[in-house]
Amino acid sequence: MAIESKENKKKRILKIISLFERYYPDAQCALDHKTPEQLLFATILSAQCTDERVNLVTPHLFKTYPHLQDLARAKQGDVEKIIKSTGFFRNKAKNIISAAKDLVEKHHSQLPKTIEGMTSLAGVGRKTANVVLGNAFNIASGVVVDTHVRRLSNRLGLVKVQNPEVIERELNELVPKKHWVMFSHWLITHGRAVCKARKPQCETCFLFEFCPKKGV
């Protein structure tokens, strides 16, 4: 099989994006939140956990700790009880409280609006930072790479690696920057609805002609 050039990939991605815009006009972040801070903590909780589970947990968390100052002063054991069902709850509780403290003490209770500032917070890697910056502030800092994005970007032949940071870097070079935020939402939506992990529904997929790994 001939190796596809970067320029051809870029052209193919533009066609894929055009179809995404038609079929998923309402794609958006699946994590329920009302403020940028809530999105940050929900995203921290989403590690190794479904968005649906996180959305069941966060209403109680945010009602119990309505302000950053409340969460910064929270006892870890109390937070653990609320978020236990999300998995890895001890580490997540520690990171959430530490991030809240950092925001209060170092950032005047305001989320940083740079990738460097966001990743300086406890429990915040590039994925979480990209989610918050993109969805809370519409700042395109990079394509968010979760399990769906990793799987579909490989299936579609856009990348041939599994490392999230490498995938992000390669997708950033291929996808127009104005689409960085939405591209992950489109892939996630498509991954849940059609290009499923165990049984991709290739026979009904509108990306069929642009997919080099049909049925894989």
No. of helices (H) and no. of strands (E), the chain: 11, 0
Own/partner long-range contacts of 54-59 (Cβ < 8 Å, ≥24 apart): 54/86, 55/30, 55/31, 56/85, 57/82, 57/83, 57/85, 57/86, 58/31, 58/32, 58/33, 59/32
The question of whether 146 is a catalytic residue gets the answer yes
Q: Which amino acid is it at 15? A: K
The question of whether 127 is a catalytic residue gets the answer yes
Q: Which of these is catalytic: 6, 146, 160, 199?
A: 146
Cα–Cα dist 8/2, whole Å: 12
Q: Give the tokens for residue 136.
A: 């809370």
Please report, to the nearest 10 degrees, the dihedral formed by the alpha carbons of residues 141, 167, 16, 173 taken in order. 60
Q: Which of these is catalytic: 81, 127, 177, 196?
A: 127
Cα–Cα dist 6/124, whole Å: 31
Which sequence positions are flagged as catalytic?
127, 146
